[in-house]
Amino acid sequence: TDTGYEVLTQSAGTPPPPSIVLPAAIAVPA
């Protein structure tokens, strides 16, 4: 998908920490 969150993580080139991934997954369901 092309969510702003995924765009940020892809542009960063590094996987974000679980502390960010989990809340984001809950706030923005895939």
What is the tens place of the pLDDT at every residue in 1-30? 566 666 665 555 566 666 666 666 666 665
Q: Reduced to 3 DSSP states, what percent helix, strand and coil does the chain have, rounded to the nearest 5?
A: 65, 0, 35
pLDDT at 10: 59
Confirm if 28 and 3 have CB atoms less than 8 A apart.
Answer: yes
Question: Hey, what amino acid is at 27?
Answer: A
Could you tell me the residue range of the domain that residue 4 belongs to? Answer: 1-30
Residue 2: per-residue pLDDT: 60
pLDDT for res 25: 61
Number of domains the chain contains? 1
Looking at residue 14, what is its pLDDT? 64
State the pLDDT at residue 23.
67
